[in-house]
Amino acid sequence: MVTTKRTSFNVTKIRKDFPNLRVKVHGKPLVYLDNAATTFKPQCVIDAIEKHYKTGTSNIHRGVHTLSEKATLAFEGAREKIQKFLNAAKPSEIIFTRGTTESINLVANSYGRAFLKAGDEILISEMEHHSNIVPWQMLCEEKGCVLKVAPINDNGELIWEEFLKLLGPKTKFVSLVYISNSLGTVNPIKKIITAAHKFDIPVLVDAAQAVNHRPIDVQELDCDFLAFSGHKLFGPTGVGVLYGKTALLERMPPYQGGGDMIASVTFEKTIYNVLPHKFEAGTPNVADVIGLGAAIDYINSLGLENIGSYEKELLDYGTAVLKKIPSLKLIGTAKEKVAVLSFVLPHIHAHDVGTLIDQEGIAIRTGHHCTQPVMKHFGVPATSRVSLAFYNTKEELDKLAKAILKTKEIFHE
Q: How far is the CB of 412 from another protein (least distance, A)?
A: 7
Name the one range near another protein by CB under 8 A: 169-177, 199-207, 227-235, 342-350.
342-350
| All residues at 6 or more sequence positions from 160 whose CB lies less than 8 Å from its CB, including other chains | 188, 191
* 411 in contact with another protein (CB under 8 A): yes
64 alpha carbon, distance to own chain's centre: 36
Catalytic entry in 140, 145, 223, 370: 370
Name the one range near another protein by CB under 8 A: 3-11, 97-105, 294-302, 362-370.
362-370
CB 180 within 8 A of CB 339: no
* 405 in contact with another protein (CB under 8 A): no
CB 183 within 8 A of CB 127: yes
* 378 in contact with another protein (CB under 8 A): no
Q: Which CB, 306 or 384, lies closer to another protein?
A: 384
Q: How far is the CB of 230 from another protein (least distance, A)?
A: 25
Name the one range near another protein by CB under 8 A: 112-120, 135-143, 332-340, 347-355.
347-355
Q: Which CB, 181 or 273, lies closer to another protein?
A: 181
Angle at the Cα of 325 from the Cα atoms of 323 and 327, rounded to 5 degrees: 95
* 355 in contact with another protein (CB under 8 A): yes
Q: Which CB, 175 or 371, lies closer to another protein?
A: 371
* 372 in contact with another protein (CB under 8 A): yes
List 92, 109, 366, 387, residue binding another protein (CB under 8 A): 366
* 364 in contact with another protein (CB under 8 A): no
Q: How far apart (Å, rounded) are the C-alpha atoms in residues 61 and 24? A: 43
List 14, 78, 382, 400, residue binding another protein (CB under 8 A): 382
- Please write down the HEC assignment for all residues of the chain: CCCCCCCCCCHHHHHCCCHHHHCEECCEECEECECCCCCCCCHHHHHHHHHHHHHCCCCCCCCCCHHHHHHHHHHHHHHHHHHHHHCCCCHHHEEEECCHHHHHHHHHHHHHHHHCCCCCEEEEECCCCHHHCHHHHHHHHHHCCEEEEECECCCCCECHHHHHHHCCCCEEEEEEECECCCCCEECCHHHHHHHHHCCCCCEEEECCCCCCCCCCCHHHHCCCEEEEEHHHHCCCCCCEEEEECHHHHHHCCCCCCCCCCEEEECCCCEEECCCCHHHCCCCCCHHHHHHHHHHHHHHHHHCHHHHHHHHHHHHHHHHHHHHCCCCCEEECCCCCECCEEEEEECCECHHHHHHHHHCCCEECEEECCCCHHHHHHHCCCCEEEEECCCCCCHHHHHHHHHHHHHHHHHCCC
Name the one range near another protein by CB under 8 A: 134-142, 217-225, 258-266, 355-363.
355-363
* 320 in contact with another protein (CB under 8 A): no
* 367 in contact with another protein (CB under 8 A): yes
Q: How far is the CB of 343 from another protein (least distance, A)?
A: 15
* 356 in contact with another protein (CB under 8 A): yes
* 82 in contact with another protein (CB under 8 A): no
Question: Count of residues binding another protein (CB under 8 A)?
Answer: 21
- Burial of 143 by CB count in 10 Å (0-12 exposed, 13-18 middle, 19+ buried)? middle
Angle at the Cα of 290 from the Cα atoms of 213 and 241, rounded to 5 degrees: 50
* 29 in contact with another protein (CB under 8 A): no
Q: Which CB, 150 or 382, lies closer to another protein?
A: 382
* 402 in contact with another protein (CB under 8 A): no
List 140, 204, 294, 350, residue binding another protein (CB under 8 A): 350
Name the one range near another protein by CB under 8 A: 68-76, 284-292, 318-326, 350-358.
350-358
List 147, 359, 378, 393, residue binding another protein (CB under 8 A): 359
* 209 in contact with another protein (CB under 8 A): no
Q: Which CB, 39 or 383, lies closer to another protein?
A: 383
List 24, 27, 64, 200, residue binding another protein (CB under 8 A): 27
Q: Is 370 a catalytic residue?
A: yes
* 348 in contact with another protein (CB under 8 A): yes
Identity of residue 3: T
In the complex, the residues that contact another protein under the rule CB under 8 A are 26-27, 347-352, 355-356, 359, 366-368, 372, 375, 381-382, 410-412
- Residue numbers annotated as active site: 370
